[in-house]
């Protein structure tokens, strides 16, 4: 089995409420996966369980061949699982550039041995990443003053700065205009060239269909479909549960 | 400026201050300056956890008293050199910082602040009932008659020690601020979950921060018994320490090492002046008014004005 991410039988309860019920999920290296589902179906909860912010009662998360179920979040990103937040969480008191310095200093060391980059190296790496997402002009601005779309880009840039193998983008396009959606979509499509697998969580179906090589559907904590995007969308179960028809 | 360079300059400034002050005849100056320097250390220490990491500590007096009482106990038992008491008191308080961290670090915001207050109250109760350390009656410390290093009076020696300890604290704060550790702490302050997801081992860094901050608060207390020579728990745990340790960084600015220094020197000096000209009872009122004023009108403190001025100048050029 050469999956990059392998989630098996994942269950998450909040009190008596079952948010995720024995969910299985596989992602191959470099794959582009769309994860969809109605509001409250457990998508963000799944992200939190995979990225390590939430502990799970049952099930196993393996990454790159290792069981990481018991690792805290900061060790998971060091191993290569990066995520963006549905509601952007910038480091608001520092500049855009300094936002990227945090993962550059803390998340990349693990896979590159004990060698720690110098301040100048970190800065130039940060600028290169900002450049690639179109934020270079904003490098020295405070992150709290960014526009909505730039905030989303910063969120992605910070995830990329960790040099991940898997990026989970949780509704990175919510609330954006159509042209802005295309900008973010282009960024996510470019991840393949960097060798990064992407799980895109999205309600905007146009973007999901354009992006995904495979689509997974979550409904009320259950995985109800997994496969070719067009087949999944045509699936009557999905139509009924997700599109409400 | 590199850390080594900054440390050298700070040390030189400290030595100049020590040597220069010896020409001052009035011994009252040394009493006042000692108190101001004590607050420089306390507010610098508070700022590492409160300003850099974003965790508000109301228990400054508890950590300070740990330094005070470890010196008292050591002195009663062994009469060791001052340097030994300084090191031990700092370590004891740092250990208490780690303990506080372990017990409370899953708490955020208000709950953490309340827990720090509870810690100070617990320590207070413990010390009040500890007879060997003087209990509720308090403890006398006979200041050694022999003054080391040829200083004219013991208070001059204590002042000089305090200058050096302040220099050390400021250097530590600046090193932390500009290090990888400092960036991690700032990330925790801004958003702890995002920090963890950016690879920052938040729990470990918070423990380092509480240890450093608590240890430095203890440091500020280690020489205190020799300064006032009679210590009672009510004095060692005085509300003033907690209030000033918060007010001074808030007034000076919490994001850099310079803020607490400016705040402590300004507010500390004003308090000393008020104490001799009006009465010490007015001190807390003045601090309170200044605190309210700054929090509402200049939340980034005096350094906030400096940064705004610099930004304006950068934009013009
Ligand atoms: N920390 C929590 N405590 C209790 N319940 C929670 C918690 N987090 C999420 N839930 C519940 O779990 C369910 C799944 O939430 P989740 O945020 O994962 O949904 P989602 O699929 O991301 O929805 P959306 O599309 O609106 O972002 C919801 O019913 C939510 O109320
Ligand atoms: Mg969600």
Which residue, by CA, sits nearest to atom 19 of ligand 1?
A: A40
Tell me how far the alpha carbon of residue A83 lies from the centroid of ligand 2, in angstroms.
Answer: 13
- Residue B275 CB partners (closer than 8 Å, separation 6+): B283
Q: How far apart are CA B99 and CA B84, in angstroms?
A: 23
pLDDT at A17 over 60: yes
Q: In this structure, which topology does domain B3-316 adopt according to CATH?
A: ABC transporter involved in vitamin B12 uptake, BtuC (1.10.3470)
In order, the DSSP letters of B58-108 are --HHHHHHHHHHHHHHHHHHH---HHHHHHHHHHHHHHHHHHHHHHHTT--
pLDDT at A244 over 70: no
> Mean pLDDT throughout B277-306?
84
pLDDT at B279 over 80: no
Mutate to test the interface with B, among A89, A95, A109 (most CBs of B within 10 A): A89
Q: In this structure, which topology does domain A5-243 adopt according to CATH?
A: Rossmann fold (3.40.50)
CB contact under 8 A, B200 and A106: yes
Which residue, by CA, sits nearest to atom 1 of ligand 1?
A: A14
Q: What is the pLDDT of residue A202?
A: 92
- Whole-number mean pLDDT of chain B? 91
- A141 in contact with B, Cβ within 8 Å: no
- Residue B310 CB partners (closer than 8 Å, separation 6+): none
pLDDT at A112 over 70: no
Mutate to test the interface with A, among B198, B205, B253, B300 (most CBs of A within 10 A): B198
In order, the DSSP letters of A4-71 are SEEEEEEEEEETTEEEEEEEEEEE-TT-EEEEE--TTSSHHHHHHHHHTSS--SEEEEEETTEE-TT-
What ipTM was reported for this prediction?
0.91
pLDDT tens, A163-211? 999 999 999 998 888 899 999 999 999 998 888 999 999 999 899 999 9
Q: How far apart are CA B229 and CA B224, in angstroms?
A: 8
pTM of this prediction? 0.92
CB contact under 8 A, A90 and B191: yes
pLDDT tens, B216-273? 999 999 999 999 989 888 888 888 889 999 999 999 999 999 999 999 999 999 888 8
Please give the distance of CA B109 from its chain centroid, rounded to a whole number. Answer: 21
CB contact under 8 A, A91 and B202: no
3-state secondary structure of A121: helix
Q: Where are the domains of chain A?
A: 5-243
Q: What is the pLDDT of residue A243?
A: 60
- For residue A147, count CB atoms less than 10 angstroms from its CB and return exposed for 0-12, middle for 13-18, buried for 19 or more: exposed
- The phi and psi torsions of B296 (rounded to 5 degrees) equal -85, -35
> Mean pLDDT throughout B128-150?
84
The count of residues in chain B is 317
> Mean pLDDT throughout A36-61?
92
- Which residues in B228-244 are b (16+ Cβ under 10 Å) and which e? eeebbbeebbeebbbbb
């Amino acid at each position: 089995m050469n999956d990059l991410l392998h989630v098996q039988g994942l269950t998450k309860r909040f009190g008596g409420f079952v948010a995720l019920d024995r969910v299985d999920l596989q992602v191959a290296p470099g794959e582009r996966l769309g994860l969809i589902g109605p509001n409250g179906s457990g998508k963000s909860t799944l992200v939190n369980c995979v990225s390590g912010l939430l502990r799970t009662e049952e099930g196993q998360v393996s990454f790159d061949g290792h069981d990481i179920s018991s690792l805290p979040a900061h060790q998971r990103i060091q191993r290569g699982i990066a995520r963006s937040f549905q509601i952007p969480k910038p480091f608001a008191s520092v500049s855009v550039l300094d936002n990227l310095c945090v993962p550059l200093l803390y998340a990349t060391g693990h896979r590159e041995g004990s060698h720690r980059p110098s301040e100048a190296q970190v800065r130039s790496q940060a600028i290169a990443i900002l450049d690639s997402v179109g934020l270079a002009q904003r490098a020295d601005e405070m992150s709290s003053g960014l526009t909505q779309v730039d905030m989303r880009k910063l969120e992605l840039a910070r995830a990329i700065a960790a040099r991940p193998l898997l990026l989970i983008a949780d509704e990175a396009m919510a609330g954006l205009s159509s042209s802005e959606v295309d900008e973010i979509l282009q960024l996510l499509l470019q991840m393949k060239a960097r060798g990064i697998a992407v799980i895109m969580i999205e309600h905007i179906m146009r973007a999901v269909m354009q992006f995904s090589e495979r689509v997974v559907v979550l409904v009320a904590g259950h995985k109800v479909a997994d496969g070719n995007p067009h087949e999944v969308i045509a699936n009557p179960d999905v139509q009924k549960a997700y599109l409400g028809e | 400026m590199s850390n080594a360079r900054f440390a050298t300059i700070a040390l030189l400034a400290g030595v100049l201050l020590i040597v220069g002050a010896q020409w001052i005849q009035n011994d009252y100056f040394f009493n006042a300056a000692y108190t101001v320097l004590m607050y420089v250390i306390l507010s610098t220490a508070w700022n590492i956890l409160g300003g850099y990491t974003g965790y508000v500590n109301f228990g400054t007096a508890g950590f300070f008293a740990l330094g005070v009482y470890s010196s008292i106990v050591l002195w009663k038992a062994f009469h060791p050199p001052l340097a030994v008491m300084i090191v031990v008191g700092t370590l004891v308080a740092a250990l208490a910082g780690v303990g506080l961290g372990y017990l409370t670090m899953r708490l955020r915001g208000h709950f953490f602040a309340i827990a720090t207050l509870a810690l100070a109250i617990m320590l207070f109760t413990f010390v009040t009932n500890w007879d060997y350390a003087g209990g509720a009656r308090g403890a006398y410390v006979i200041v050694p008659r022999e003054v080391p290093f040829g200083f004219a009076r013991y208070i001059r020696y204590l002042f000089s020690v305090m200058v050096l300890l302040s220099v050390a604290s400021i250097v530590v704060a600046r090193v932390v601020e500009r290090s990888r550790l400092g960036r991690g702490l700032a990330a925790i302050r801004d958003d702890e979950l995002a920090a963890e997801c950016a690879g920052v081992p938040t729990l470990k860094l918070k423990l380092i921060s509480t240890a450093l901050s608590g240890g430095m608060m203890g440091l500020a207390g280690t020489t205190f018994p020799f300064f006032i020579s009679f210590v009672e728990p009510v004095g060692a745990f005085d509300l003033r320490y907690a209030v000033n340790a918060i007010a001074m960084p808030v007034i000076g600015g919490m994001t850099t090492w310079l803020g607490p220094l400016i705040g402590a020197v300004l507010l500390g000096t004003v308090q000393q002046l008020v104490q001799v000209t009006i009465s010490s009872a007015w001190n807390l009122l003045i601090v309170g008014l200044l605190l309210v004023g700054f929090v509402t009108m200049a939340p980034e403190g005096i350094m906030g004005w400096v940064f705004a001025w610099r930004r304006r100048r950068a934009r013009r050029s």
